Each structure stands twice: as C-alpha cells, then as structure tokens.
Structure 1
Amino acid sequence: MRASTPPVDGWSSPPAGERRTVLLIGLTTLAILAVAFGAMALGVSYFWVVFPVGFGGVLPLVVAYGHRTDGADRDRESATNASAETTSPAAAGQDEALRTLRARYARGELTDEAFETRLERLLETESVANAANRVRRPRSAGDDRGGEGGQRD
C-alpha cells in the first residue's frame, strides 16, 4: 500500500507508473468521441453505434491493456529493486574485507604504503577472473604479499 498525502484541491495526479494508462484512456476516449461526432456531422445514420462499441468494447480493452502493462512494469521494477538489495556472497565478503582493512588502518596497525598496497590488491580482485589473473601473475620485487613480517592477512 502506498502512503500519500491528500491533495489540497481534491485532485491528485496518478503515480508515475500509471500515467501511461491514463494517457491511453484519454486518447481512446477522444478518438471514440471524434469518430462518433464526425460520423454524425457527415450524416451517417448509424453514428450511435460508435458509442457502445467504443465505450463498451474498445475502451475496456485499452484499460485492461494499460493495467496489464503497468503491472508488468511494477513487477519488473520490484524484481530489479530486489536484486539490487541482495548482494552476492563475494561482494559481501569484499565489503567485510574492506571494512577490516580500513579499521586496521584507522587503529594504526598498517602504514600508509601497506594500506594502499592492500587496498589496490583488494580492488584488483573484485571479480573471479581478476583474482585468478592476480594469482597467476609473477611476483614483483615491490609486491608485499606477505604483509608485515611475512605474515599473511
């Protein structure tokens, strides 16, 4: 259920997802009236048939189509929001590793150089492919994989 404040003038605009349906309904109504009154102006004796066919048949189909597409848009949006809210275990692990790294740096356990080196290493290994490339890469002289005193993190 959507919480909203009541409008001051008694009228409210439809939610963003339903504006397309409201527009379709308005355009359909305008088209039905234009055809019916146009037929009447041209002297067509059965112009009245446009009203029951248009408002009794065409307009309900447009309304159903609009609500169906609005529902599909809402479902798609909620699925997108739900997938964005759930993080993968790898991303959660990296977030935890980054928090730990920052905490150790804040406590003074790491030097600026050690922090920067480990931060770069952490960011390099965001994906599985990057991590695999990092493991296969030969160690350089300046690469401190063992941490302070040869200990691993």
Structure 2
Amino acid sequence: MRDTHQSLADQISGIFALLVLGVGLTALFLGYSWFWMVFVLGFAVALPIVAILSESLFGRESESEWREDESKSEQVDEQQDALDTLRERYARGEIDETEFERRVDLLLENETVADVKARRGREQKRETERERERN
C-alpha cells in the first residue's frame, strides 16, 4: 500500500524532473548547441537541490506516522463493519432496541472491535464470578 502513497516532496521532484527534460528536449529540437547543459545542470545540480528543499520545507511523513494513519483507517473499517452487523441483526429482530443501543454505545466508546470483545469478555467473567458467589 506504500507504493500508492506519495508525499508532496516526491511529487515536486518528479514535476521538476519533467520540466528539466522538457526544456532540454526543446533546446535540442530548436538546434541550440548547449542543450546538453540543461540535462547536466538540471539533473545533477538543480534536481537534488529541489528535492532537499522540498523535503525540508514540506517534510516527509515518517513511516511510523504513515502506519498509524493506516491502522486508524483499519480501526474505522472494523468499527463500521461491527455497526453494520449490529444494524442487520436489529433489522432481522435478533436483538431488541435496548440491546442494540447498549452495543452501539460500547462500540462508540471503544477504539477498536478488539477493545469491545475484551470488555465483553471481562463482563462475562465478572458475571460468572458473581454467579459462583451466589451459589
């Protein structure tokens, strides 16, 4: 998935490289004898400078920041899937309105579906312990 993600610094460098190529080829086709200097100076001097400046000005997203963004989007997807499942079960009549609302509240107050499952497991464990105490 990293291949589809391009930072602004990468785009600026690519645009500048195309500009150097265009100017150099235009100079070649127009018959200027110094066309080769456009390529040498453009790619060997100016492009690295543009890349360094764009990186320092705009900054690159570190891989850890990118992974955090990706994991947040996965969490949102999981939460949306869980909400969709709850809606379907409520629509089919498998759960009543109060149970539906309780589960939606649990989902919304937790970050991930795994948090909900862990909390549900703790609640079931407490209920089991209470039943043992009663007996």
TM-score, L = length of structure 1: 0.36
TM-score, L = length of structure 2: 0.41
Specify which structure has the higher proportion of helix.
Answer: 2
Query: Taking CA–CA contacts closer than 8 Å with sequence separation of 6 or more, which of the two structures ends up with the larger relative contact order?
Result: 2
